[in-house]
Amino acid sequence: MSGKDQGNQVPVKAMEDLWNVWYSELHNHNHGLTVKIDRLLESDESEFQRIEVISNPFFGKMLCLYGSLMCADNDNNAYNEMITHVPLLAHPDPKEVLIIGGGDCGALTEVLKHPNVNRCTMCELDSKVVEVSKKHFPDLTSGLKDKRANLMFADGKDFIENSSEKFDIIILDLSDPVGPAADLFQKPFHQAVHDRLNDGGILVAQAESPFLNKEAIKAMHANLVDIFPIVKIYTCFMPIYPSGYWAFLFASKSPEPVNDKIVSRFERINIKTRYYNPETHVAAFALPQFVKEIIA
Ligand code: SPD
DSSP string, the chain: --TTTTTT---HHHHHHH---EEEEESSSS-EEEEE-SEEEEEEE-SS-EEEEEEETTTEEEEEETTEEEEETTB-HHHHHHHHHHHHHHSS---EEEEEE-TT-HHHHHHTT-TT--EEEEEES-HHHHHHHHHH-TTTTGGGGSTTEEEEES-HHHHHHH----EEEEEEE---SSGGGGGGGSHHHHHHHHHTEEEEEEEEEE---TTT-HHHHHHHHHHHHHH-SEEEEEEEE-TTSGGGEEEEEEEESS--SS-TTHHHHHHHH----SS--HHHHHHTTS--HHHHHH--
Selected catalytic residue, list 104, 126, 168, 173: 173
Could you tell me which CATH number the domain at 12-72 has?
Answer: 2.30.140.10
Ligand 1 centre and the CA of 147: distance in Å?
26
Residue nearest (by alpha carbon) to ligand 1 atom 5 = 175
The CATH number of the domain covering residues in 77-294: 3.40.50.150
Atom of ligand 1 nearest to the CA of 68: 1
* Per-residue model confidence (pLDDT) at position 38: 94
Expressed in angstroms and rounded, the spacing between residue 25 Cα and the centre of ligand 1 is: 13
Q: Is the pLDDT confidence value at 17 over 70?
A: no
Whether 17 is catalytic = no
Task: Please report, rounded to a whole number, the percentage of residues in the chain having pLDDT higher than 70.
Answer: 95
Residue nearest to atom 9 of ligand 1 (CA): 70
Atom of ligand 1 nearest to the CA of 102: 10
**Ligand 1 proximity of 110 Cβ (cutoff 6 Å):** no
pLDDT band for position 16 (cuts 50, 70, 90) = low
Kindly report the pTM of this predicted structure: 0.94
pLDDT in tens, 233-279: 999 999 999 999 999 999 999 999 999 999 999 999 999 999 999 99
For the chain, give every domain's residue range: 12-72, 77-294
